Amino acid sequence: MRSVITFSSRAAGIVALALLLGFASAQTQPAAQGPAAAGVHVPGFWDPRRRPERPDLSRVTAIRFLTEIDYPPFNYAGPDANPAGFNVDIARLICEEIKATCTIQMRRFDTLLDALDQNRGDAVIASIAVTPQARQRADFTDPYYRAPARFAARKDTKIDEVEPENLEGKKVAVVAGTVHESYLRTLFTEAELRPYPTNEAARAALRAGEVDLLFGDGISLAFWLNGTDSAGCCAFRGGPFLESRYFGEGVGIAVRRGNDALRQALNWALFRLWETGRFTDLWLRYFPVSPF
């Protein structure tokens, strides 16, 4: 999840700073329907009790989406050099729902909000974290995904309930200097933290059995667990953890300040994609191992 105040940090991963402290797990909707989704929990980022009213969509006939060049699987150039990825597919589904003509242009991440300010596009869909700093540059839709923190353990590790009182003396790998380390030091005070310089080093320690658990960004961990680098060693345990002070408010679509007509149309379309199951289908395609 990209934070607009750290444009130059491509290695920062999918982490953002935001507002409130709490200790709660994600609210997820029941397992998605259909055989391909059996037993898979898909996160519900929308409250069905707060269904938005359909706005006047006649005011939104065309949308120029801006996205970034290289942030797979969210944004990247496909084999035909055209935009591809989770964010791009969300944008295309929104355009179908609104019945608007849309274009999607790729730009460097650090130029996206400037391009929006200069009217070179109408909306930015590029995994921008919604933070107080970001809100000074643009208005945002409701979040359409969040980046939870998760614990992972070797499959042969007998740790199921991951609560602060259950991790006394347990060795937990974490990347040094991250919000994940700060979170553990604040709330998991009895655990024995083992800070590592990189994600790769922390994951290697878990794979080798040098630590009992690894704590980090759930989305990148999901891809590691589902990929060849993990060698099938490990699985998620406990969580997810979504405290906004540490892990952000979530990711939204940015529009120019004051463009409420477009923001409301995008919010309505996102809710409709979730309500009709199209968001769930897309989520399962990109996240076969759910970060939630």
pTM (whole model) above 0.75: yes
Q: Identify the DSSP state of 42.
A: -
Q: Which residue has the tokens 């759910």?
A: 290
What's the pLDDT score for residue 44? 75
Same domain membership, residue 133 and residue 156: no
Answer whether residue 44 is part of any domain: yes
What's the pLDDT score for residue 3? 52
Q: Is the dihedral of CA 101, 45, 244, 158 positive or negative?
A: negative
Same domain membership, residue 212 and residue 130: no
Q: How many domains does the chain have?
A: 2
Same domain membership, residue 162 and residue 282: no
Count of beta carbons in the 10 Å neighbourhood of residue 90 = 25
Residue 205 is part of a domain; what is its CATH number? Answer: 3.40.190.10
Q: What is the pLDDT of residues 135-154, one digit of tens each?
A: 999 999 999 999 899 999 99
Same domain membership, residue 230 and residue 89: no
Residue 240 has pLDDT above 60, yes or no: yes
Q: Per-residue confidence at 106, pLDDT binned at 50, 70, 90? A: very high
Answer whether residue 175 is part of any domain: yes
Same domain membership, residue 141 and residue 108: yes
More confident residue, 194 or 226: 194
Answer whether residue 24 is part of any domain: no
For residue 62, the enclosing domain spans: 35-146+250-286
CB burial of residue 199 (10 Å; 0-12, 13-18, 19+)? buried
Same domain membership, residue 272 and residue 155: no
Phi, psi of 260 (to 5 degrees): -70, -30
Same domain membership, residue 202 and residue 66: no
Q: What is the pLDDT of residues 165-221, one digit of tens each?
A: 889 999 999 999 999 999 999 999 999 999 999 999 999 999 999 999 999 999 999
Q: Quick check: 179 and 245 in contact, CB under 8 A?
A: no
Answer whether residue 292 is part of any domain: no
